[in-house]
Amino acid sequence: MKFGVFDHLDRSGEPLADFYEHRLQLAEAYDRHGFHALHTAEHHATPLGMAPSPSVFHSAVAQRTRHLRFGPLVYTLNLYHPLRLAEEVCMLDHLSRGRFQLGVGRGISPFELAYFGADPKAGQDIYIEAFEVLRKALTAEVLDHEGRHFTYRDVPIELHPLQKPYPPIWYGIGNPDSVPWCVENRVNIVSNAPVALVRQITDGYRAQWQRAGHSLATLPFMGTTRHVVVAPTDAEAIAIARRAYLCWQSSFMHLFRKHQAQPRFMIYTDDFDAVRASGLILCGSAATVRREVQAIEAESRLNYLLCRFAFGDLSLAESMRSVELFAAEVMPELAAAA
């Protein structure tokens, strides 16, 4: 199992200038400690996301790190002109000398899409075509495309990504029925479904990957995200995680409460103890968190864990301590066991 980082960049209560600087200091720490990649969310008109323009934030990450891979998980393709987005992807890939990771999706929040005038009901259809255009624009010398939503004729392509044919693709998955598409397109996947459903997805991915004639040695990343707080004692970590999680959960539910609605799958409730018991929050001493990670790996057969070290009202010092303890006392022992 490899380790990465996921961050909603949800509102913490700090002035935004300090908020961004602290997140960039954490990116430097992820870089120092050998995390595989930093993945960030894209959200709009909600305290759940203070980086609604992923390209802007990641251009700063590119300059503050040297080895860390990074990218959005995901770009909400339904809100982008795909030709313009292809140019941004190429710039970021060259600015980072080939470390950019390209996450794509249709957008999970119908409220955010509607604020921008996008039709949530047409989301899947637009997303599929936008992704097709994006891949063409990243690989062609001249773009020609005629579809239901986008048309381009004889468009010269001056920018191409450094990574060939394009940066690694990442996709959020919650339904085993999406596995064939993921295998066909060789995309890395991240799922926050319950563990039993995640196991269906990972087992299905491995089986279909082999049936397609690929070696398991080349299997893409199959990951999930977890809130992570590590402290010298279990009691201290739990107290910190409880406070910060409830702050994050309030931001997570902000638009749903505003519109008197509920998420389709309500796994992040305001019952901290129940959410922790379900395995969605890892908190405790390094030894405790190490055991919890081992349990996730065994139950889900994932090969990638995205840690949420910064969420809610966690201070920079609290997040940084979690990163350092995790890197020093969790990652090496799990690597040795593997």
Task: Report yes or no on 322 lying in a domain.
Answer: yes
Residue 242 lies in a domain: yes
Residue found by looking up tokens 């995390």 in the block: 35
Residue 326 belongs to domain spanning = 1-15+25-37+222-338
Task: State the average pLDDT over residues 239-253.
Answer: 98
Name the domain count of the chain: 1
- Asked if the model's pLDDT at residue 250 lies above 80, the reply is yes
Q: Give tens-digit pLDDT for 121-178.
A: 777 889 999 999 999 999 999 999 999 999 999 999 999 999 999 999 999 998 899 9
User: What tokens were used for 168?
Assistant: 């690694």
**Element of type H or E holding 94:** helix 82-95
Residue 337: pLDDT over 80: no
DSSP E strands, 27-67: 37-40
Q: Is 297 contained in some domain?
A: yes
Mean of per-residue pLDDT scores for the chain: 95
What pLDDT digit, counting tens, does each position of 282-292 carry? 999 999 999 99
Angle at 78 between CA 75 and CA 83, to 5 degrees: 75
Classify residue 302: in a domain, yes or no.
yes
User: Is residue 195 reached through a cis peptide bond, with omega within 30 degrees of 0 on the bond before it?
Assistant: no
- Residue-wise pLDDT for 88-98, tens only, equals 999 999 999 99
- d(CA 107, CA 93) in angstroms, rounded, equals 23
Instruction: State mean pLDDT over 100-108.
Output: 92
6 part of a folded domain: yes
Buried/exposed code over 82-98 (b: 16+ C-beta within 10 A; e: otherwise): bbebbbbbbbbbbbbee
CATH number of the domain residue 280 falls in = 3.20.20.30
Examine residue 168 and state whether it is found in any structural domain, yes or no. no
Average pLDDT over residues 286-313: 96
Local structure of 146: helix, strand or coil = strand
**Strand runs labelled E in 136-199:** 142-146, 151-156, 169-172, 188-190
Stretch 228-257: mean pLDDT, rounded?
97
Give the SS3 label for residue 191.
Answer: coil
% helix / strand / coil in the chain, to the nearest 5? 50, 15, 35
Distance (Å) of CA 220 to CA 41, 47, 141, 189, 190:
20, 32, 28, 8, 11
Nearest to 22 by CA among 335, 314, 255: 314
Question: Tell me, what's the pLDDT at 106?
Answer: 87
Q: What is the mean pLDDT of residues 287-304?
A: 95
Q: What is the pLDDT of residue 266?
A: 84
- pLDDT class for 72, splitting at 50, 70, 90? very high
Average pLDDT over residues 63-84: 96
Q: Which two tokens stand for residue 261?
A: 């609605």
In a domain, 277, yes or no: yes
Q: Which residue has the tokens 């490899």?
A: 2
Q: Is the pLDDT of residue 193 over 90?
A: no
Q: Is residue 334 part of a domain?
A: yes
Is a pLDDT exceeding 90 seen at residue 241?
A: yes
Each residue's pLDDT tens digit, 17-66: 999 999 999 999 999 999 999 999 999 999 999 999 999 999 999 999 99
Q: What is the pLDDT of residue 129?
A: 95
CB atoms within 10 A of CB 233: 11
DSSP structure string for 273-321 = HHHHHTTSEEEESHHHHHHHHHHHHHHH--SEEEEE-S-TT--HHHHHH
pLDDT of amino acid 338: 66
Across the range 229-254, mean pLDDT stands at 98
Beta-sheet strands, E only, within 141-262: 142-146, 151-156, 169-172, 188-190, 222-230
d(CA 219, CA 107): 26
Kindly state the average pLDDT of the residues 259-276: 91
Q: How far apart are CA 240 and CA 280, in angstroms?
A: 15
